[in-house]
Structure formats: C-alpha cells, structure tokens
Amino acid sequence: MKRYFHWLAVVLVMLGALGALGGFAASAYAQTEGAPSEAEINADLSDIARDASIMQASPLSQAAREAKAAASPKPHVPRLSKPSAGKGNASSPSASSDGDRTALALRIAIGLTLVAVVPGLLVCMTAFLRIIIVLSMLRHAIGMQETPPNTALIGIAIFLTMFTMAPVIQTVNTTSLQPFLAGKTTPEQAYERGIVPLRDYMVRQTREQDLALMVELSRAPQPRDMTDISNVQLIPAYMLSELRAAFQIGFMVFLPFILIDLIVSSLLMALGMMMMPPATIALPLKILMFILVDGWGLLLRALVGSFH
C-alpha cells in the first residue's frame, strides 16, 4: 500500500514539472516570434512621420484640397429687395379671389344658421303650432300614446302648414328670397321685405287681448297702430292666440271619445265585469267610430278652415 502511494506521488511530481516546462516554452516563443522588438517599433514611427511630411509639402495635394473646396456648394443667402412704389399700390388678382371666398364662406355660415333656426321659426311664426297640438291631443283622446308616431304627425302638420300659408310663402319667396339669391338685395333688405307678409299673417290670427298683454309685460309705450308693435311683442302674442285656438279645437275633439269611455264603463259596471279595464273595449270602439265618421277628413278640414 505504501508502494502505491509512493509511485502516485512520483507521477504527480513529473506531471507538474512537464506543465511548468510547457508554459515557459510558450511564453518564450511568443516573445521571440509574436511581439515586435523596440528597434522595429522605432523604425515604423519614423516611416509614418516621413510620409506625413511628404504629403504636407506636396503641391499636388494642396491643389486637390483647393479644388475640393471650390467644388463644394456654398450656402445661398437670399437678398431682400425693396418693393417699388408703383407695384406696392397695385391690387393683385388674389385679392379679389380672397374676397369671393370670404363671401362664399359667409353665405354658407348664414345658410347653416338658418337651417338651425328654421324649426323654431316654424313653430313660433306659422300655423304649425296649432296643427301639431291638435293632432297630439287627438292621439291622447283616442288612447294611443305612440300611434300615429311623432314623425307622421309632424309630416301632416308641415303639409297642412304649407297649404294654409301658401299665399304668405309665395309672397315671401317673390319679394325677399329670390332677389336675395340673385344678389340684388342685402340680407338686411331681404329680412325687411320677408317679415312684412309674416307680420300681416300673425296680426290677422292674434287676439287684441294677447297683444295688449305682451305690450304690458314688455313695459313699452302704448302703440298707436300695428306698425309700432315690435316683433318681440307680436310673436309671443301670436303664440298665445294659437295655443288658445288649439285647446278649443282639442276640447271638441275630446268630447266624443269621453262619451265612449263613459258608456263602456257603465256597461261593464252593469254587467259586473269590474275587473276588466274599460280601455280594453273602449279603444277599438273609438277607432271604429273615428273611421266611420271620416274623422281624419273632418279634423283636417276643420283645422285648415280655422285659419280663414
């Protein structure tokens, strides 16, 4: 056993000696073959300095540098020229085109504004207010909350308004709208011409009591004639008169349907059917009666006739 350990120690010592000899040989070879000597480094530095001095002293290189500088583009600096007196006052063609564009933009803005204001004017200054209120009251009197729909009622009211106010619309179109579209009048002149037929129509449909009320509420001096009444006083007075007329017609529309409700309720009470809602039987009877008497024709004829 001791012999084995002895030979193992000898082998390890020999391996260590061989490794040390190999490292020493590699370092010596690198110093002799791979790394340059001090004399070689000094010779290389002297060659580089000689080449640089030759390039600086060469006239060909100087000429090449000058040619390269001449070929490179120089930055352009614009010169400000003073305008002449004759050209400064002359009007350019672009000025007129800018004016046309401004006028076109102004017309478009006015048109969009009118489109937004037209529904309010339609309600406040025409027969639309009375007609739409009566049609809405008819729907509630029958007992149908959503039939006919609002779109249908508004469409009927618009057409009836056009039929009722056809002479006024024609006068406004002839005296105000067409001259303005042709460029013969200014917007102010078109407004002054177009408001006159509308004022005449509203005055004919407005009660004196409503006019007096608006004059009193506005705390304005008493007018001598209708020309002294402003549009701010005339338009709300006209709306009050329209509401009053619409409620009068609506009351007459409600009466027959209320009678049907009373009759149906009495019959159900007499038959002992108190748990059945009266509207279940009254609604079809109302629709049947309205169709048999041609209710739509009677109502529309009465509405149009109320304005004359």
Q: pLDDT tens for residues 203-246?
A: 888 888 888 888 888 887 777 777 778 888 888 899 999 999 99
Per-residue confidence band for 19, with pLDDT thresholds at 50, 70 and 90: low
Q: Highest mean pLDDT: which of 28-37, 159-168, 277-286?
A: 159-168
Q: pLDDT tens for residues 129-150?
A: 899 999 999 998 888 878 888 8
Please check whether residue 215 is in contact with residue 202, taking contact to mean a CB–CB distance below 8 angstroms.
no
- Look at phi and psi of residue 82 and say left if phi exceeds 0, alpha if psi is from -120 to 50, else beta: beta
Return the closest-CA partner of residue 233 out of 221, 243, 247: 221
- The pLDDT assigned to 226 comes to 77
Please check whether residue 257 is in contact with residue 141, taking contact to mean a CB–CB distance below 8 angstroms.
yes
Q: Taking the model in full, what pTM does it have?
A: 0.59
Cis bond before residue 148 (omega within 30° of 0): yes
Look up residue 300 and give its two tokens. 């529309």
- The pLDDT assigned to 187 comes to 75
How far apart are the C-alpha atoms of 129 and 114, rounded to whole Å? 19
pLDDT at 44 over 80: no
Backbone φ and ψ of 304, nearest 5°? -65, -40
pLDDT at 49 over 80: no
Per-residue confidence band for 80, with pLDDT thresholds at 50, 70 and 90: very low
How far apart are the C-alpha atoms of 98 and 105, rounded to whole Å? 10
How far apart are the C-alpha atoms of 202 and 237, rounded to whole Å? 9
